[in-house]
């Protein structure tokens, strides 16, 4: 099986990113871009992001998860701490987040360090989830091998019975991570593959160095 994709072409011509519009703090620019994507009718799930980590087998692995909050400190998402992703972060907390909004011809690439959220913050978010999602956090031993779909459904049913008429509390193996950025790159598609790439790098005095990268 083979398919030649050499002729696939797209010209990026929608926007530009110049230094004179870049604020000192990249979180400001992130918010501007994110809100623009979120308010656009061309972007579905603007908070979908790719998380890349180094697995216990030494290989990088990327998967899409949902950003649930961003603050001046960084970016928050939730997962099963015992999952392949959680074990990878436990062993090496240096990870990469990336957002790609093709309709806007924009990417954001974030390098940072992931740390577990305080338990009360994970509790607060867990309480806001629909009951089905809460039960799913109990029923799925994320990343483990299962014999069939039926096994998953049986697990879910057992926890539905266990918590019937009761408060569904957060399992200790499930919670949030805060990714504190050390580098944020903003990529804006431009014609002739001469894309705009602006990188912010965190300095020792907690200021941000702004540099343009060649495309």
Catalytic positions, please? 193
The DSSP call for residue 40 is -
Name the strand (E) or helix (H) holding 32: helix 26-39
Taking the CA atoms of residue 137, residue 141, residue 142 and residue 145 in that order, the dihedral angle to the nearest 10 degrees is -150
Residue 158, phi then psi, degrees to nearest 5: -65, -35
127-136: list long-range contacts, CB under 8 Å, 24+ apart: 127/170, 131/168, 134/168, 134/170, 135/159, 135/160, 135/163, 135/168
d(CA 94, CA 74): 14
Q: Which two tokens stand for residue 207?
A: 């200021």
Rg (CA), the chain: 20
178 burial via Cβ count (<10 Å: 0-12, 13-18, 19+): buried
| Helix 131-139, helix 149-162: angle, nearest 10 | 120
């Amino acid at each position: 099986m083979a398919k030649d994709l050499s002729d696939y072409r797209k010209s990026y011509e929608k926007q530009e990113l110049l230094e004179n519009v870049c604020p000192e703090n990249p979180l400001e620019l992130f918010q501007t871009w994110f809100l623009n994507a979120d308010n656009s009718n061309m972007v579905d799930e603007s908070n979908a992001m790719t998380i890349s980590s180094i697995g216990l087998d030494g290989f990088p692995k990327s998967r899409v998860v949902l950003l649930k909050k961003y603050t001046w400190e960084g970016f928050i998402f939730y997962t099963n701490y015992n999952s392949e992703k959680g074990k990878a972060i436990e062993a090496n907390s240096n990870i990469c987040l990336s957002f790609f909004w093709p309709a806007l011809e924009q990417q954001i690439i974030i390098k940072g360090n992931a740390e577990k959220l305080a338990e009360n913050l994970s509790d607060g978010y867990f309480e806001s989830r629909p009951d089905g999602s809460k039960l799913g956090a109990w029923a799925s031993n994320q990343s483990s091998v299962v014999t069939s779909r039926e096994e998953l459904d049986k697990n879910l049913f057992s926890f539905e019975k266990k918590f019937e008429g009761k408060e569904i509390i957060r399992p200790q193996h499930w919670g949030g991570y805060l990714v504190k950025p050390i580098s944020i790159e903003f990529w804006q598609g431009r014609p002739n593959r001469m894309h705009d790439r602006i990188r912010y790098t965190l300095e020792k005095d907690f200021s941000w160095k702004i540099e343009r990268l060649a495309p």
